[in-house]
Amino acid sequence: MPEENYIWEAEFNDETPLLKQFDGGMENNSKPVFEKDAVGKLSKLWLKPQDGTGNVFGVDLTNGKLYEADQWKSNDKSDLGYAYHVIFFRRTQRSVTVSGAQVAFKMVFYIGWKATVDGTEIKRVLKIQTNGDYVLQDNTNV
């Protein structure tokens, strides 16, 4: 599978238009996304392949569901009325080392989101590799 570079898009539940990482040839700062999230106006956050092909990932912050493989994935804590918020979304570069020698760099993309229920934090972190493989870490203790 070819290497993918994912870009973010943010949807809001007010009159704010869709905000894309790259728009009009310029890269947007993520600050407006966190500002809208802080006042409950961020509804969905997406990571989409930059070339338009491949797997699209998303998080619905109204219910905590994960979007992957063209469908929303439910879990036992989805749709329970919790207010989810973005912790982070970013890309980072990881080095690959074999027998003590650095052989490559790999990009890894992350989305983290959480809710607090009766003082207990529900936190999920989605890690996406450039080949489209992903891992969902879920520390739900409710």
Tokens in use for 93? 């570069």
pTM: 0.80
- Compute the distance between CA of residue 103 and CA of residue 86 in angstroms, rounded to an integer: 33
Give the pLDDT confidence score for residue 79 in this predicted structure: 55
Give the pLDDT confidence score for residue 115 in this predicted structure: 86
Give the pLDDT confidence score for residue 54 in this predicted structure: 83
Q: Please give the torsion angle defined by the CA atoms of residues 123, 7, 93 and 75, in that order, rounded to the nearest 10 degrees.
A: 20
- Compute the distance between CA of residue 51 and CA of residue 22 in angstroms, rounded to an integer: 12
Q: What is the chain's pLDDT, residue by residue, as a tens digit (142 residues)? A: 456 688 899 999 988 889 998 887 888 888 889 898 888 899 999 999 888 888 899 999 888 888 998 898 876 665 566 778 898 888 787 777 777 776 777 788 889 998 887 777 888 899 998 888 899 888 765 4
Give the pLDDT confidence score for residue 43 in this predicted structure: 92
Tokens in use for 21? 């990482």
- Among 77, 82, 76, 47, smallest CA distance to 61 is for 82
Give the pLDDT confidence score for residue 80 in this predicted structure: 62
